[in-house]
Amino acid sequence: MSDGPLIVQSDKTLLLDVDHILSDECRRAIASFAELEKSPEHIHTYRLTPLGLWNARASGHDAEMVVDTLLKYSRYAVPHALLVDIAETMSRYGRLRLEAHPVHGLVLVSNDPAVLKEVTRGKKIAPMLGLPLDDETIIVHPGQRGFLKQALLKLGWPAEDFAGYVDGEHHDIDLVQEGWKIRKYQELAAEGFWHGGSGVVVLPCGAGKTIVGAAAMAHAKATTLILVTNTVAARQWRDELLKRTTLHEDEIGEYSGSKKEIRPVTIATYQVMTTRKKGLYAHLDLFDAIDWGLIIYDEVHLLPAPIFRFTADIQSRRRLGLTATLVREDGMEGEVFSLIGPKRYDVPWREIEAQGYIAPADCVEVRVTLTDAERLNYATAEPEDRYRFCATTLTKQRVAVALARQHSEEQVLIIGQYLDQLDALGQELGVPVIKGDTPIKERERLFAAYRTGEIKCLVVSKVANFSIDLPEATIAIQVSGTFGSRQEEAQRLGRVLRPKADGRGARFYSVVARDTVDQDFAQNRQRFLAEQGYAYRIIDADEVLSAD
C-alpha cells in the first residue's frame, strides 16, 4: 500500500482523492484514457471504457503507459484482472486493418485469422464483405468502408484504417506567419492529424482550433470543405483564413441560408446541409460537388445524424474534426470515432492556461433559495416542465441582474436557454438580446460593438454557445441551459477564456436554484470541466444581493 491519490477498483472505476497533494498530477495523467463520471467535493469518480482506451491507443498511448499510470498513483494494489482487461481491450485496436489492394480495391486484414473469422460471421458484417483472399484477408464491397468501421466498432473490434485517401483537387494553400507565429501545440495537433490521415483534435475554447484547421489545409494543399455551426462562425472562419493563409477572398465561398457559393475553399453551415425539401436532404450533394481533398468538421461534437450518414460514404476523403470536448449527450462518440476518426491530439485546458494562451477562470456556482410560492409552483408542475419552472424564476432573475450590475465596468455575457427569460433580463438591464431570430447583420453589428467596448453587456441565447469570438468577455452569467449538458457548459465557459490584453482572469457564474433539478443538472454539467481541473466554489445568492 502507498499513499497515492487514486483507488482503482475491479468494476473499472477510479476514485480520485481531490484533497491529495498529487491529485492534479494524477488527474492530468489519467485524463487521456479515463472519463469523469461524478465530481462531488472530495472524491471524483472516473471510469475506464473501451472507447476511452481505444482513443488513447490511437493517440499514441499504449497499455503499458495506462498500467504504469494506475500503478504509480494507486493507494492500494490494483486488481490484476483489471490490468489484464486493459491490455486486452487496447490490443483489440488495430488487430483488424482496412488496406488498399491493387486488384480488389479495399480489403479487411488481420494477423489473427480467428478474429477475422469471428467478425465476418456477424449478420451485419457479412453483407459488406466479398470473398476471402486467404485466411488473413477478405474483400470489402465498394462504398462500405465507413459502414464497416461503424459495425466493427459496435462488435468491439475497432479497425485501423490504412486504406489511404484521395488527394483531391490541388489548390495551393500556405500559412502566412507575419505578425504572429503558430503555437507549438497547434503545429503538433495539425501534424498529428496529418500523419494519422483522419481524426479529431481536441483543444480548449479560445486555444485557436481555426489555426489548426488552417495548418491542416496547408498540409493538404487541396480543395477544402469546412462545416460550421452557423453563419457567424462561417464568416469568422473566412476572416481568419484571409488573415492567416495565402487564400484570397475569391477563393473562399460561403454556403449558407443566404448564399450558395462553391469555391476551392467552401464554408457551409450544418443547418443548410441538413435542410430537407420534400423529405430529401437537398444540399448534401455539396459533398460531391468538388473533388475535395479535405473536409473539416468544426465543433464535431455537434455533428447532426444526416452528416454522419453521408460521412460514412466519403471515407476516401481526409476528415478533420475540431472540438473542445468529445462529449456527446446522445452517446454517439463511437460514430465520431469510426466515421471522422479517432482522437489524434488532445491537451488539457489547464496546460494551455499555464502557457498563457487561455485566461485563468474562476468558476462560481451561485445557489438561489426560491420563494415559497416559487417552490410550490415547481412542486406542482408536470415533471417535464419542472426544470423550466425552477430555471426561470424571478428570484434567479434578480440575482443575475445583481451580478451584471456588480460587474458593470467589465464585458459581461448573460447566457440562457429560455427566450422569455432572456427578454426579461435584457429589458431590466436595458441591454441587447441576441437570439436565433436576430438577423445575421444585426448579430454581427452587436458583436462588433461588444468587442470595442461600446456595449458592455449582452444577453445571448444558445446561438452564442459555439464559435463566437469575443476575446474581451471577462464575465459570463449562466441562468439556464440545455438540462445537464456537459459540452454546453464547456462551450459557455469558453466564451470568456480568450486571453485578455491586460492579463486579467475570467469569471463564470452559474446561477442555480437550490433543492431542484436545476441543482442536479448543474452537477452533471460541471463534470467535463472538473475533469479539466476547474473547481466550482459555491456561494449563497444572499451574498450577491446584499452586495448589490
- pTM, full prediction: 0.87
Q: Where are the alpha helices (DSSP H) in 31-79?
A: 50-58, 63-73
Residues 202-259 pLDDT 10s: 998 888 999 999 999 999 999 999 999 888 889 999 999 999 999 999 999 999 888 8
For residue 149, give Cα distances in angstroms to 143, 188, 421, 516. Answer: 12, 26, 45, 42
Closest CA to 160 of 67, 293, 55, 308: 55
For residue 200, give Cα distances in angstroms to 49, 170, 214, 505: 18, 23, 15, 29
pLDDT digits (tens, 9 = 90+) for 398-436: 999 999 999 999 999 999 999 999 999 999 999 999 998
CA dihedral 137, 141, 146, 151 (to 10 degrees): -70
Specify which residues 248 forms β-bridges with: none
> What is the per-residue pLDDT for 531?
77
448: left (phi over 0), alpha (psi -120 to 50) or beta: alpha
Range list of H helices, 254-335: 270-273, 286-289, 305-311, 333-335
Tell me which CATH homologous superfamily contains domain 353-547.
Answer: P-loop containing nucleotide triphosphate hydrolases (3.40.50.300)
Cβ-contact 323, 301 below 8 angstroms? yes
Q: Which residue has cell 498513483?
A: 73
In the predicted model, is pLDDT for residue 548 greater than 70?
no
SS (H, E, C) 204-241: CCCCCHHHHHHHHHHHHCECEEEEECCHHHHHHHHHHH
| Phi, psi angles (nearest 5°) of residue 108 | -100, 125
At residue 457, the pLDDT reads 94
Span 122-164, pLDDT tens digits: 889 999 999 999 999 999 998 999 999 999 999 999 999 999 9
CATH 3.30.70 domain position(s) in the chain: 96-162
Query: For 254-275, how does the pLDDT look when each residue is reduced to its tens digit (9 = 90+)?
Result: 998 888 999 999 999 998 888 8
The reported pLDDT for the residue numbered 138 is 96
Confidence of residue 32 (pLDDT cuts 50, 70, 90): confident
Least Cα distance to 446 among 424, 473, 428 occurs for: 473
- CATH 3.40.50.300 residue ranges of the chain are 184-347, 353-547
User: What percent of the chain lies above the pLDDT cut of 70?
Assistant: 99
**Which strands sit side by side in the sheet containing 137-140, from one edge to the other?**
129-134, 137-140, 105-110, 96-101, 159-162
3-state SS of 144-203? CHHHHHHHHHHCCCCEEEECCCCCCCECCCCECCCCCCCCHHHHHHHHHHHHHCCEEEEC
H-helix or E-strand spanning residue 361: strand 361-368
Q: What is the pLDDT of residue 427?
A: 95
Q: Checking DSSP bridges between strand 137-140 and strand 129-134, what pairing results, if any?
A: antiparallel
Q: What is the distance of C-alpha 36 from the center of its chain? A: 15
Say how far apart CA 485 and CA 328 lie, in whole Å.
9
Question: How high is the pLDDT of residue 466?
Answer: 64
Average pLDDT over residues 297-323: 90
Task: Determine the Cα–Cα distance for residues 133 and 128; give it in Å rounded to an integer.
Answer: 15
Confidence of residue 467 (pLDDT cuts 50, 70, 90): low
Which residue from 437, 529, 541 is spatially nearest to 479, judged by alpha carbons? 541
- Nearest by Cα to 268 from 277, 258, 278: 258
Q: Which amino acid is at 135?
A: D
Q: Are 328 and 487 in contact (CB under 8 A)?
A: yes
Four-way CATH pick for 96-162: 3.90.550, 3.30.70, 3.40.50, 3.90.930: 3.30.70
Q: For the domain 184-347, what is the CATH code?
A: 3.40.50.300
Long-range contacts of 65-71 (CB under 8 A, 24+ apart): 66/33, 66/90, 69/29, 69/30, 69/33, 70/6, 70/8, 70/14, 70/30
**Cα-flanking dihedrals φ and ψ of residue 463, to 5°?**
-65, -20
Q: What is the pLDDT of residues 479-538, one digit of tens each?
A: 998 877 888 888 888 888 887 777 788 899 999 999 999 998 888 888 878 778 788 889
Contact yes or no for 165/316 (Cβ under 8 A): yes
Tell me the mean pLDDT in the region 88-106: 94
d(C-alpha 495, C-alpha 432), whole Å: 17
Q: Tell me the three-class secondary structure of 507-529, residue by residue.
A: EEEEEEECCCHHHHHHHHHCHHH
Outline where DSSP puts E strands in 66-134: 96-101, 105-110, 129-134
Cα separation of the two ends of the chain: 52
Q: How many Cα atoms within 13 Å fall on the side-chain side of residue 124? A: 9
The whole-number pLDDT of residue 351 equals 85
Per-residue pLDDT of 59-72, as tens digits, reads 889 999 999 999 99
What does the alpha-carbon distance between residue 292 and residue 222 come to, in Å, rounded to a whole number?
7
Helix (H, G, I), strand (E, B) or coil at 61: coil
Mean pLDDT of the chain: 90
Q: Is there a contact between 43 and 547 (Cβ–Cβ < 8 Å)?
A: no
Instruction: Indicate whether 463 pLDDT > 90.
Output: no
Q: Are 316 and 339 in contact (CB under 8 A)?
A: no
